[in-house]
Amino acid sequence: MSFLNPLLALGAAALTIPLIIHLLNRSRFRTVDWAAMHLLESVISSNRRRFRLDQLILLLIRCAIPALLALLMARPVLTGSGIPAGDTPASLVILLDNSYSMEVADPAGTRFDAAVETACSLIDSAPAGSEFSVLLTGGVPTPLFDQPVSDARAVNRRLRQLTAGMGASAVTESLDAALSLAQRMSHGRRELIVLSDFQPADWQQLQEAPGDAFRKRLQEQSIPVELVLLPVVSGSEANSALARTPNLSLEELVLPPHALAVGQQFSVRAMLRNYGAEELPSVRVLLKLNDAEIAVVQTAVQPDGVTQVLFPCAIATPGSHVLSAELIHPDALESDNHCSAAVQVRDSLPVLLVDGDPSAEPLQSETDFLSIALTPFTYGRLQLSDLITTRTIPTASLNEDALQDVRVVVLANVSRLSDPQLESVKKYVDGGGTLLVTAGNRLDLNWYTQQLYADGNGLLPAGFVSVQGQDSPGTDGSSQPQGKTARIVSQRFEHPSLLLFNDPAGGDLSAAEIRRWYSVTAAEQSGGDAAAEDTAVDTAVDAASEQPEQAGAAESAAVLARLDNGDPLLLEKRYGDGLVLQFTTACDAEWSDLPQRPVFVPLMQQVITGMATGVEPPRNIAAGEPAVAVVTVEVAVTGDGSEATTQSPDGSAATAATAALLTTTVVTPDGTREAVPVVQEGSQQLARYLQTLRPGLYTMTLPDGEDAHFISGTDPAESALRLMDQQNCELLADRLQATLLRSGQEWRDRDQLRRFGREIWKYLLVGLLVLLLLELILQQRFAGVRA
């Protein structure tokens, strides 16, 4: 306890005044002998003790009155064990949850509105000279200012301009970032204040190891930092005990994983989740293409579960488009009633087939079956058009010019390439091209091992070792082939190109009989003995990572499909900006009956289109991931010798200097326009936009005037509008060694007590009045008794 007027507390010495008066009055009494006094001695003797007790009580009350009056005038303040901070400035870091669950609305406003007003009131209540940092926790931790700000009005003005709608709150990362901000602030009193709706999905991770790690870091601070948890809800939620708000959300639009052609029929699957406990018998769902409504479905939505809605769709024009679904259903959170996806539609996909075993006989060339599978409508002379267009050339015709404007190159049973041809193919793949290598009886194994595989540093995912399966008829003097055949393993495929075959309607790959194939080996076994060569192994996983880095370095390989004896059938790896697939059997009917089966058509179509789209930057991204578009340019020299920049499907002739002259424009979900420069990265020119934290549509206008659409999505778990109850909040606060408060007013009261203590003069005044009244009553009563 301390005093605001400590000198006046010395007035408590006035308690001696009644005592002095009492002693003086006692000394003025005289003893007078009286003859009849002996008649009263018995009465006086029996009442002497009570008389003295009455006088002592009155004396104590009369002594307490001036002492209490002096304490009252000194204005005592209760401060606990500490010293009042007074107007000493503080350093406050406010962690503001701006995830889209904070947009839950009611007539009293949204959760985010309540959080902003609470933050502004805390800032207004802080001592003059305090400094403030605001950290937005939605998506990724984002500081509102580059450095701490002392202007409370400026901070409040910026806070009131904010909107919610960001991704799920990054709690662990935000707490670590806030602690780092607090370390760089200047005042001795430091505090982290978390304003959030405290959804269990965001905070449950702190109940485990991350929470212990943060608490340890908090304890290790050289200057103590206090953590305050302040749950914020909207007005009606604050007046109710509900911990869960019913909500219906559109979680995802699922599109086909393969490339889409102009006019191609495909299905769009909308995933609806009902977080309520009641069935919704009639919910309308709209599907829009570029904001134009194209389909409507009315469906029932089961409680506490997911409902799928299928829309048939076809897009008549090539280019970038936006498909969006919308729920027509009122609920507390409107922002999750919409969901969008960007889709790229193509009018053609050129493929170059390099035939290593050409023939004039029908279906005898190495690429005949493959060409038919890739362009079935063209060969069938149907009115429908194929997305894929093929061009077949012999090995000798392969050169840099042949690779221009090609999306996929297939080396089908090619014996070997010349050095210039190999360099052209490497340059093509490294620059973002895709290559499929199929096996056959003409392969030069030494060349493939030394040049195309090159101990994991070449184009090939794994090295060809030896032919497995049946021998050719008659090689051992018999008329029947010897050896075992194999079949493709039916499994749950994860690669986008093979997802179709997880559904039995897509075809049965295991029905095909593979008569001959190559075993493959990892880099460390490429020079092994015959026993090692006879053993089929996994792909060259991690083999490339163990080699020194070099230009066009390859990443680790992956097995996409296997045979039932364990040998890989289809392998994949990245090479530079491109992609390489390896097929360990032939693509004609000599080594297997796969090309003669109906499943061969969708298999090759899925593989080729998957390769073409697999090297492109994604258009549907997670919030915070960069939106990247490949800008293809070429430089033409005009008659006067100057460079003229034009658009081209291939960027091989472009230069970094040319790319530096180009810019793109991005329109963000809130309508802001920003310029994004085109930069040279490796052999590609890229436009890279980084600020995609806000979920929604980002439209990038490329130098040729075409639009590229990007959809930034976020974790749908925020749509579960559950709040942590009081008990769980208290457990969380205990684990983090934090202080849990119920409102902004409680924080202000607590801050006032910490800064100035709690004055108790009102209570002392009441006590003084009680003593005065008590002294008067007792005086009259004791006097009456004596009378």
Mean predicted confidence (pLDDT) in 637-644: 45
Residue 356 CA to residue 375 CA, distance in Å, equals 20
Q: What angle do CA 611, 257, 495 make, to 5 degrees?
A: 65
pLDDT of residue 20: 76
One domain, residues 199 and 109: yes
Question: Would you give the DSSP letter of residue 264?
Answer: -
354 pLDDT exceeds 80?
yes
Checking if the pLDDT of 73 tops 70, the result is: yes
The CATH number given to whatever domain includes residue 666 is 2.60.40
Q: What is the CATH number of the domain that holds 330?
A: 2.60.40.10
Complete DSSP assignment for 144-206: SSSS-B--HHHHHHHHHT----BSSB-HHHHHHHHHHHHHT---SEEEEEEEE---HHHHGGG
pLDDT exceeds 80 at position 37: no
Q: Same structural domain for residues 559 and 644?
A: no
Q: Is 766 within the bounds of a domain?
A: no
Rounded CA-CA distance 639/641 in Å is: 5
747, part of any domain: yes
Boundary-marking domain end, from 585, 614, 643: 614
User: Do 526 and 390 fall into the same domain?
Assistant: yes
Q: Is residue 74 domain-shared with residue 99, that is, in the same domain?
A: no
Residue 774: inside a domain: no
Do 303 and 368 fall into the same domain?
Answer: no
Q: What is the predicted pLDDT for the residue at 690?
A: 93
Q: Is the pLDDT of residue 239 over 70?
A: no
Same domain, 223 and 290: no
| Residues 236 and 298 both lie in one domain | no
Residues 305 and 177 in one domain: no
Same domain, 376 and 523: yes
Q: How many domains does the chain have?
A: 5
pLDDT tens-place string over residues 708-761: 999 999 888 888 888 888 888 999 999 999 999 988 898 988 887 776 666 677
CA–CA separation, 364 vs 369, rounded Å? 9
Q: Tell whether 573 and 696 lie within a shared domain.
A: no
Is 380 inside a domain boundary?
A: yes
Mean confidence (pLDDT) of the chain: 83
Mean local confidence (pLDDT), 292-312: 92
The pTM of the full predicted model, rounded to 2 decimals, is 0.76
Residue 762 inside a domain? The answer is no
| 419 and 568, same domain (yes or no) | yes
Q: Is the pLDDT of residue 620 over 90?
A: yes
CATH code for the domain of 415: 3.40.50.880
84 is a domain residue: no
Of the two residues 557 and 464, the one the predictor is more confident about is 464
Q: Are residues 411 and 547 in the same domain?
A: yes
**Does the pLDDT of residue 245 top 50, yes or no?**
yes
Could you tell me if residue 769 is inside a domain? no
Domain extent for 316? 248-346
Q: 627 φ, ψ to 5°?
A: -95, 115
Residue 743 maps to which CATH number? 3.40.50.410
pLDDT bucket at 30, cuts 50 / 70 / 90: low
In a domain, 85, yes or no: no
Handedness of CA 430, 436, 440, 442 (dihedral sign): negative
The one-letter amino acid at 272 = L
